[in-house]
Amino acid sequence: MNGLLHRAKGDKVIWTIVFFLSVVSLLAVYSSTGSLAYRLRNGHTEYYLIKQLTVLGLGLLIIYFAHRVNYTVYSRIAQIGFIISIPLLCYTLAFGRNLNSAARWINLPVINLTFQTSDIAKLALFMYVSRQLSRKQGVIEDFRKGFLPIIVPVGLICIMIMPANMSTALLLGASCMLLCFIGRVPVKYLAAMIGCMVGIVLLLFVFASLTGNKMRTATWVSRIESFSSGDDKDMPYQVQQANIAIAEGGVLGKGPGNSNQRNFLPHPYSDFIYAIIIEEYGIFGAFLILIAYMLLLLRSIRIFKKCPFAFGAFLALGLSFTLVIQALANMAVNVHLFPVTGVTLPMVSMGGSSVIFTSLAIGIILSVSRNVEETELKRIEKERIERVLEQQREAGLNIAV
């Protein structure tokens, strides 16, 4: 274990954030699943805690091994991952497991593992877009040669995710647009793409209403209407219970394990875990969680600025964008600043595949950070050797004189 810790490289602040969020996850999951485990697991209240501990342990191992890989390897596998994600999304739409009227999951029969294919698609897409942005910088202002090879994959993946998971598709598209803006894609092209995406969403609603197709449009409309009405009577049940949890939390909270709303709030261990954290740890605890994600973004921006190669810079920034934007969306839903979505809080909410792919994303960010550190150390060592040689030459000249 000491050997692993000694060999762990990369941004130490990001490592600290990972461990902090992991501890928060264990505390919040244990508190929010105690009564659920007691009912479903014959009184074994630690069942979900042990399960989450196992998943987080696996996630930390994934982060470690992913950060030991040179990030240039991810450029080579970006195309493969993108190509694989397309048939996986198609299969999910056709034969995926339905939960809350949404086909988002597929089962692996041999190991009996259920995962969201959108998690694979998001990771593959950001690697692919980062690769394309780095390769197309010379022709980035050319619509056909620079813009289309970047934006077509983004639109394709978002459209395939949209029928089952509108919120994930919109957040993914927003993250990619932001990364493209930083990658010097002309604003007029991005504005046109945003207009096209809005048109596609409207066409999706029209198609569903005309054909009677059982898509999730009714759910989307009801969520938007309940959020925009401003009437407490129209507020969804889970939002009402989340508001009660936040109100009871106050400044310092009720203390670890003392949540009352975990017994009433739907999905207190995943979508609404942030409300449970506020109830138990107060506004102070909520602020610490927000600061952790903001620090992750700031440290990734620092990596972006220092990385000497475009692919690594775009990769680190793009992956941090998707994690932080997802976290902000989850927190906004919990405090009723955003319509209800199905996104979880990265590295905190209980989960299997979501934790695994989040860990892989963080590992890739740390891989870029490790490379930046090693490049910086080599530069410093080279400058030191040059200074020593210069001093030796000056000393030799003085002796000769």
Residue-wise pLDDT tens digits, 199-214: 877 777 776 666 655 5
pTM, to two decimals: 0.89
Mean per-residue pLDDT for 214-227? 63
The residue segments making up the domain with residue 33 are: 2-400
Our separate counts of H helices and E strands in the chain read 13, 3
Mean per-residue pLDDT for 48-75? 91
Mean per-residue pLDDT for 246-274? 89
Mean per-residue pLDDT for 23-50? 82
* pLDDT recorded at residue 65: 93
Residue count of the chain? 401
* pLDDT recorded at residue 276: 94
Mean per-residue pLDDT for 106-125? 75
338: phi > 0 → left, psi -120 to 50 → alpha, else beta; which? beta
Mean per-residue pLDDT for 144-159? 89
Mean per-residue pLDDT for 377-388? 84
CA-nearest of 321, 317, 341, 318 to 331 is 341
**Domains held by the chain: number:** 1
Please give the C-alpha separations between residue 365 and each of 179, 389, 400, in angstroms, as whole numbers: 15, 36, 53
129 close to 154: Cβ distance less than 8 angstroms: yes
60: pLDDT strictly greater than 90: yes
* pLDDT recorded at residue 220: 64
* pLDDT recorded at residue 292: 96
CA 375 vs. chain centroid, Å, equals 27
Beta bridge partners of 105: 97, 116
* pLDDT recorded at residue 17: 96
* pLDDT recorded at residue 291: 96
Please give the Cα distance from 45 to 85 (Å, whole number).
Answer: 37
* pLDDT recorded at residue 125: 92
379: pLDDT strictly greater than 90: no
pLDDT digit string, tens, across residues 321-340 = 999 999 999 999 999 888 88
Q: Count CA atoms closer than 13 A to 161's CA, side-chain side.
A: 26
* pLDDT recorded at residue 127: 92
Provide the pLDDT confidence category of residue 228 given band limits of 50, 70 and 90. Answer: low
* pLDDT recorded at residue 100: 53
Show Cβ contacts of residue 384 under 8 Å, excluding neighbours closer than 6 positions: none
* pLDDT recorded at residue 1: 47
* pLDDT recorded at residue 203: 77
pLDDT digit string, tens, across residues 280-314 = 999 999 999 999 999 999 999 999 999 888 899 99
267-281, 323-337, 361-375, 380-394: the lowest-pLDDT one: 380-394
103: pLDDT strictly greater than 60: no
37: pLDDT strictly greater than 80: no
The amino acid sitting at 149 is P
Helix extents (H) in 96-186 = 117-135, 148-161, 166-182
378: pLDDT strictly greater than 70: yes
pLDDT digit string, tens, across residues 166-197 = 888 888 888 999 999 999 899 998 888 888 88
* pLDDT recorded at residue 162: 82
Q: What percent of the chain has a predicted confidence (pLDDT) above 70?
A: 84
Please give the Cα distance from 240 to 69 (Å, whole number).
Answer: 46
Q: Can you read off the two tokens belonging to residue 347?
A: 């590295």
243: pLDDT strictly greater than 70: yes
